[in-house]
Amino acid sequence: MSTDVKTAALEQRIAPNGIKLPIYMDNHATTPMDPRVLEEMLPYFMEKFGNAASRNHPFGWAAEEAVELSRERVAKLVGATAKEIIFTSGATESDNLAIKGVAEMYKEKGNHIITAVTEHKAVLDTCKRLEKYGYRVTYLPVQKDGVVDLDDLRRALDDKTILVTLMAANNEIGVLQPLAEIGRMCRERGVLFHSDAVQAVGKVPMDVNQQNIDLMSITAHKIYGPKGAGALYVRRKNPRVQVSAIIDGGGHERGMRSGTLNVPGIVGLGKACALCMEEMPKESCHIAGLRNRLRDKIMSRLDEVFINGSMEHRLPGNLNISFAYVEGESLLMGINDIAVSSGSACTSATLEPSYVLKALGTGDDLAHSSIRFGLGRFNTEAEVDYVADRVCETVERLRELSPLYEMAKEGVDLKSVKWQAE
Amino acid sequence: MAYSDKVLDHYSNPRNVGSMDKGSLDVGTGLVGAPECGDVMKLQIKVNPQNGVIEDAKFKTFGCGSAIASSSLATEWVKGKTVDEALGIRNTDIVKELSLPPVKIHCSVLAEDAIRAAIHDWKKKQGVAETAAPVGTRASH
């Protein structure tokens, strides 16, 4: 398809009931920018365009002032102090800096790192690289509901452990880990605790002191801010944490992250955090209501539908469901005026089904049948109702096409069939 | 993922969806793929025993849009061909017709396998009917 045709698909159309199409329900992948964030950023492109490190003139001072305000705003959202916030290009960089930076800085103390199998690739791939350098990494399993077993963590900690890195909320299934307990366990043993909190910040309350967190990765584009702007929280007290820089060149950000600051992006990150700070309690409640409405509408109309991951410990906007006997990509095709994602192998570049769903013990067949909905600030009840209807009618249609549904209805136990795989 | 118009057409308007009587002597059933792989195709053919012409075909598929389109196309193509002609259908023909990208080629391979499996099943049934019947009796099936 030519570029014109691809972007034409993004052009807005209006559905019969007045809803604007396409509908965006993939807020775990990224979020639309809040207009208030954009407004806050604009002056820093053309008028207040100075380099925040230019100490000698008003252009620099204005930029620096904006950066410092953002620093305060980010810190406030997570219960930290401004000096503890380092700006980066995003959460992937923050994860790299936290993990590699600690590994390098504390290598005399030990070489063991603990993480979990359901972490984001930015964490997993960084750990894999450290293994090549001779570090030892333990990948904890998760329970069926997606939560790490604290006993597993306790058993894995040893006297060479220097870092535990566990995400606050999972990007695929939205499951929340018990951060305060994990942090306490680490603190008792003098082990640093890093959390990739990208999906959680701004959506559920985060507090680095209450949760005993020493390092935390944050990004703007999951909270209605710009892409390319993130932060790493690095604790300064009780204990004082240090990380070796992974980018050298000028010593910016207290020597931890060199490079000219992305002032407009940082301003956007700060504003996004400030808005979350104000609006989070009401917004989370509202979004959870929408998510539950979507779930209830789907589950009351369809049978053999399974939610992946704990509903109790979950982000308010996340719904990850498997529709038995229907493959995920074919379902997405049928709802092509709705943007969501799937754990099916067919939707991934590598043809591997979701490793997160696999870690839950979900069979590959149900992993192939999964859809992830990510509701956000700009979704409406009317959109939820429309999506529920479209999903249900598409599943019903595809089940008519499905040999597996037919066999299941005939009473065949699919697990006992000897499949002739290609 | 960008889909070709033909894939979209087969997906929205699949041809020959349904099932035939598996037990019938004239029906060949091919069931290929596996749920864990994300692709299962059931393709059935009804063959005229006098002249070996495939008179009807039906399919059901669990799989992505390209898999559904490949199997739908397969049922269209086998209709009217003899079983030997149908054996000449290659996955590369399907790839070309549907403009499948490299990552979806395996869907066309599975469709070709489904055709072959259906024909094999039919031939097996015919073979048993032909050879197992002693003089004066009819084979029960």
HSE on the CB side for A123, CA within 13 Å? 27
Q: Would you list the domain boundaries of chain B?
A: 5-127
Helices in A228-376 by DSSP H: which ranges? 263-301, 328-334, 355-359, 364-368
Nearest CA in chain A to B3: A1
pLDDT recorded at residue A349: 64
Residue carrying structure tokens 């077993």: A149
pLDDT recorded at residue A6: 67
Mean pLDDT of A240-255: 96
A10: left (phi over 0), alpha (psi -120 to 50) or beta: alpha
d(CA A25, CA A226): 18
Residue carrying structure tokens 């969806």: B17
* Among the listed residues A316, A237, A314, the one whose alpha carbon sits nearest the alpha carbon of residue A276: A316
Nearest to B37 among A334, A414, A421 (CB): A421
Interface test with A, best of B10, B16, B64 (most A CBs within 10 A): B64
Yes or no, beta carbons of B2 and A330 under 8 Å apart: no
**What class has domain B5-127?**
alpha beta
- Considering chain A, what percentage of its residues have pLDDT values greater than 70? 96
How many residues does this entry show for chain A? Answer: 422
Question: What domains can you pick out in chain A, each with its CATH number?
Answer: 3-32+279-411 (3.90.1150.10), 35-275 (3.40.640.10)
pLDDT recorded at residue B1: 55
Chain B residues within 8 A of A405 when measuring between CB atoms: 62
C-beta of residue A59 within 8 angstroms of C-beta of residue A286 = no
For residue A15, is pLDDT > 90? Answer: no
Mean pLDDT of A87-113: 98
The backbone torsions φ and ψ at residue A185, rounded to the nearest 5 degrees and listed phi first, read -60, -40
Mean pLDDT of A156-184: 97
Chain B residues within 8 A of A304 when measuring between CB atoms: none
d(CA B44, CA B57): 5
pLDDT recorded at residue A5: 63
Yes or no, beta carbons of B64 and A327 under 8 Å apart: yes
Q: Judging by DSSP bridges, how do beta strands A215-219 and A192-196 pair with one another? A: parallel
Chain A residues within 8 A of B11 when measuring between CB atoms: 330, 333-334
pLDDT recorded at residue B135: 46
Q: Token pair for residue A163?
A: 């870092």
Yes or no, beta carbons of B19 and A347 under 8 Å apart: no
Lowest mean pLDDT among A256-265, A342-351, B74-83, B99-108: A342-351
Q: Is B64 one of the catalytic residues?
A: no
How far does B63 lie from chain A, in Å, by closest CA? 5
For residue A71, is pLDDT > 60? Answer: yes
A328: left (phi over 0), alpha (psi -120 to 50) or beta: alpha
d(CA B5, CA B8): 5
How far does A362 lie from chain B, in Å, by closest CA? 11
Mean per-residue pLDDT pooled into runs of 10, chain B (141 residues): 87 95 95 91 95 96 96 97 95 96 94 96 79 41 37
d(CA B42, CA A403): 6
The pLDDT tens digits for A102-147 are: 999 999 999 999 999 999 999 999 999 999 999 999 999 999 999 9
Mean pLDDT of A193-215: 98
| Chain B residues whose C-beta sits inside 8 Å of any chain A C-beta | 1-3, 8, 11, 14, 17, 19, 31-42, 60-65, 67-68, 103, 106, 109-110, 113, 117
Q: Which of B7, B32, B83, B107 is catalytic?
A: B107
